[in-house]
Structure 1
Amino acid sequence: MWSVSGTVRLLLGAILVATATAGSGNNSSKVVVCYQGTWSVYRPGLGKFGVAEIDPFLCTHLIYAFLGIEETGKLRVIDAYLDLEDNGGKGNIKSFNALKLKNPTLKTLMAVGGWNEGSKKFSIVASDPEKRAVFVDDVVKFLQRHGFDGLDLDWEYPGQRHSLANEDRSNYIAFLKELKEGLEPFGFILTAAVGSAQFSAEISYDIPSIVPYLDLINVMAYDLHGPWDPVVGINAPLYGSASDATDSTGRQQQLNVDAIVKYWLQAGAPAQKLVLGVPFYGRTFTLATGDGHEPGSPHIGKGIAGKYSREPGVLGYNELCEQMGEEEWTQKWESVQQVPYAYRQRQWVGYEDMRSLSLKAQFVMQHQLGGIMIWSLESDDFRGTCGQQRYPLLHEINRVLFGSGTPTGLTAESNEDQPSEVFSCSADTPLGYVRDPNNCSKFYYCSGGNTHSFDCPSGLNFDLTTNSCNYSDSVNC
């Protein structure tokens, strides 16, 4: 039986979807796929990032990372206390999917896998038809039970990292095919995070064979250089460096976004399914001496850990921009690779900023790719601590892809179209809903100074006690 509030929410959702569709521009088909590393809720101080910090209007797809996989084919909940409501758990998955009540066009997916989950268990399951069937069945039931819109398969990587890899490439195709057949009748989305550079990707993927089963292909075009290299290099260069051409193996020429995208397109991936993955973090090094600062300088290993991520060799943009505000860092722009780097004493980092991400978003537009994928939300300056708006990196990507601060199809009205006398959120307005002071049927969602405007269906007013539209005689207006 439908409750009154449930019916009202459906009405509101229909109004928002219709209005958003009518206002969509030419780029409405572009996607902004945002991963949340759920462990970031345990970070200290201003680095703590939970569902409450997510702005549901800045991404078209949100991915909950991660769930695991058992050798039996069953799903594995990695942090049951955080993810689920059972036994007094925090119910994080429920809160994550409830973001769709704020933005009805948002899609949510769960990611299974990730680097730490490894490759061996995927390989065992993918090689066995019975175990594949168990996984498909478990995934469908989990998506239905928790309200996700689809699955993101993050097997890193077929054919690599373990000793059972000989048949992974062909088994991966069978795995995707059966997943698609299991998910499609329920309208669930199937996406995959994939390795990027040619010398690695051609081991793992028969690209023309996997394309039919995937709605989006999220290419992880980052971690192209890091402390595993003999010299310092930038995490995700847009183009190759001059020195790459001297590499006799040819691998260095493949380690840039331009080469990666061209490989995937030439190998048979359709541009509209290809989503360019970008990092919101930098790879750090400790220089061998205090004199060599250019890319290609020698190093002795990882840089020091950030105060939030607490992982040597990695600095989130939020950690780095705070450090740059507190300490004297020298910031440089690498004009050939079109990315920034910075150093302070013997600490060195190649990272992304608004300028480099704007160029990557322009690259997506020029090559008519499907959109951009972000790893990951908690590494943006999501609190606006560094003096800019909240989520400056994500806003810049949206500005290029959609011509505004949010995806075109996600807001009922653009703040720029509103007359000056209409209510507008300020930078100090708390994140959340605000009712119009002069019209009880009109309400706004404020996020980092951005105003998202909505109207309740005729005869309904916005109820501040439930943050939803309700019958007028039930609302204290």
Structure 2
Amino acid sequence: MLFLLMLALSFSIPSVCSNTYKVVCYHGNWAAYRSGDGKFSISNIDPYLCTHIVYAFVGLNSNFTINILDPWQGVDLAGFTNFNNLRTKNSKLKTLIAIGGWNEGSERYSAMVSSASNRKTFIQSAINFIQKYDFNGFDLDWEYPSQRGGGSADIANFVSLLREMRTEFNIYGYLLSAAVAAPASSVDTSYNVPALSTYLDFINVMTYDLHGPWDSVTGQNAPLYPASSDVTAFQKSLNVDACISGWIERGASPSKIVMGVATYGRSYTLQNSGNTNIGAPTTGGGAAGKYSGESGYLGYNEICEYVNAGWTVVWDDQQKVPYAYKGNQWIGYDNPKSIAIKVAYAKARGLGGVMVWSLETDDFNGKCGSVNPILNQIKTSFN
């Protein structure tokens, strides 16, 4: 009888663990420089809405050591310390430091991974940084191996880096993750997917920015499924479902995949304000928002204010996301309804959880209603 009880317990434990989803939330520290209600600091982070929080970003020096890009915030104002002290409120919370990002480019990272000695220098610098500031782990946001100035050898060399980091990180029990491209065309250019799945604790798939002002026609930032107007193989690849399926088909364990969701949208200026459909011709990005200040981009905290001020909202049932417009301005985005559908999708596919880019563009002041509606919807949907 005791044997049967132990056998039953041995089968029940994995099923319990498999239901422990990750909610990995990035914090873009530059939001501390925004004005008014757009200003977001570490004190605005609710440590109970995420399982992991990631401080973005540090960079890479020419000698392949960690470059603190904003020492005033990170060190002088004790940003790293305050970030990690959020664990005193929620002891289950894990903190990571992210290196890279779009602005860092690829060339220096390509050089770093190209030799064992360069990789060793980097890995030791990463460990020293984690230990000095007391993070739980490290997130690699190289955008992207073999692209943007990198070379074809990056694919194999990146695997070497991950393997060597895994060996060293295991000594200390540090977490190792990476933010990665989502569409199949980019994945095939940059990654050995089975190797990433082997060496990383989790893989943050950036399933957003699938359409934007660079397309010259309106499109959804992060459609879950394709539109009927998507007819070519490439067009059909630019949706969350196709991206996640592509990563799994290429050898990623679903439980290692953390699916990206966005607290922002991509905006456009319409060529003809009378044509507000998906695929409508545009003249460029939409007007910059009063908080984010970037053409072609609006945080959910900006979008919800526009919606409350009378923008027309349309639910795109094919792609399971909304869009909104007023005059010649158009925005494709996610709201709590679409986020709930995406979380249900992640659960149905057996994924490891969702990743949020990023904390500072949810409605963290609750100006449109409840505080942090996107993050709270994620938490509710996973419960």
**Smaller-chain TM-score bracket:** over 0.9
Q: CA RMSD in A?
A: 1.4
Q: Do the aligned partners of 1:194 and 1:217 also contact (CA within 8 Å) in 2?
A: yes
2:348 aligned with 1:361: no
**Residue 310 (structure 1) aligns with:** 293
Distance apart, 1:376 and its partner CA: 0.0
Deviation per CA, 1:105-159, whole angstroms, max 9, x where unpaired? 1000000000011111100101121111011001001101111000000000001
Report whether the alignment pairs 1:160 with 2:147.
yes
**Superposed displacement of residue 166, structure 1:** 2.1
SS in 2 for 1:386: coil
Q: Deviations over 1:428-471 (max 9, x none)?
A: xxxxxxxxxxxxxxxxxxxxxxxxxxxxxxxxxxxxxxxxxxxx
Which structure 1 residue ranges, 5 or more long, are not aligned? 1-23, 403-477
1:286 alignment partner, one of 266, 269, 279: 269
Q: Structure 1 residues 31 and 177, CA, compared in 2 at 3 Å: closer, same or farther?
A: same
Q: Quote the residue 1:331 is aligned against.
A: 313
Q: Find the counterpart in structure 2 of residue 462 from structure 1.
A: none
What is the identity, as a one-letter code, of the residue corresponding to 2:329? Q
Residue number among 64, 69, 73 corresponding to 2:64 in the alignment? 73
**In the TM superposition, what are the counterparts of 1:445-464 in structure 2 within 5 Å?**
none
Structure with the greater alpha carbon radius of gyration: 1
1:174 corresponds to 2:160: yes
Paired AA for residue 341 in structure 2:
L
Instruction: Pick from 254, 260, 267 the counterpart of residue 271 of structure 1.
Output: 254
Instruction: Deviation per CA, 1:337-393: give whole Å up to 9, x if none.
Output: 110000000000000000000000000111110000000000100111112x21111
Deviation for aligned residue 1:323: 2.1
Q: Indicate the residue corresponding to 1:372 in structure 2.
A: 354
Q: Tell me how far 1:324 sits from its aligned partner.
A: 2.2
Checking the alignment, whether the CA contact within 8 Å between 1:357 and 1:396 is kept in structure 2 is yes
Shift of 1:28: 4.8
Amino acid at match of 2:366: G
**CA offsets 1:290-342 (integer angstroms, 9 cap, x no match):** 111001000000000011110110000001111222x3211001110110000
State the match for 1:350 in structure 2: 332
The answer to whether the 8 A contact 1:71-1:122 is kept is no
Q: CA shift at 1:188, angstroms?
A: 0.2
Residue 64 of structure 1 and its aligned partner are, at CA, apart by: 0.2
Secondary structure of the corresponding residue to residue 228 of structure 1: helix
Of residues 145, 158, 168, the one that matches 2:132 is 145
* Aligned residues between the structures: 370
- Contact 1:354/1:392 (CA < 8 Å) preserved in 2? yes
What is the aligned-residue identity percentage? 44
Aligned to 1:409: none
Question: Shift in Å at residue 71 of structure 1?
Answer: 2.7
Paired with 1:290 and 1:252, the residues of 2 have a C-alpha distance of: 25
TM-score of the two chains, using structure 1 as the length reference? 0.76
Residue identity in the other structure for 2:28: G
Residues 112 and 118 in structure 2, CA contact (< 8 A), matched pair in contact too:
yes
Report the Cα distance in structure 2 between the residues aligned to 1:274 and 1:348, rounded to whole angstroms.
31
CA distance in 2, matches of 1:82, 1:180: 29
Q: Which residue is 1:321 aligned to?
A: 304
Amino acid paired to 1:398? K
Q: Do 2:362 and 2:375's aligned partners in 1 also have CA atoms closer than 8 Å?
A: yes
CA contact (8 A) 2:307 2:324 kept: no
Give the whole-Å Cα distance in 1 for the aligned partners of 2:274 and 2:16. Answer: 50
Pairing of 1:244-259 with structure 2 (within 5 A): 244-245=230-231, 247=232, 250-259=233-242
SS at match of 1:305: coil
User: 1:103 & 1:242 partners in 2: Cα distance?
Assistant: 45
Mapped contact 2:226–2:236 kept (Cα < 8 A) = yes
Q: Distance in 1 between matches of 2:81 and 2:130?
A: 12
Q: Larger helix proportion, structure 1 or 2?
A: 2
* TM alignment of 1:21-420, pairs within 5 A: 28-84=19-75, 89-162=76-149, 164-245=150-231, 247=232, 250-325=233-308, 327-387=309-369, 389-402=370-383
Partner Cα distance (2:322, 2:266) in 1: 12
Distance (Å, rounded) in 2 between the aligned partners of 1:161 and 1:208: 23
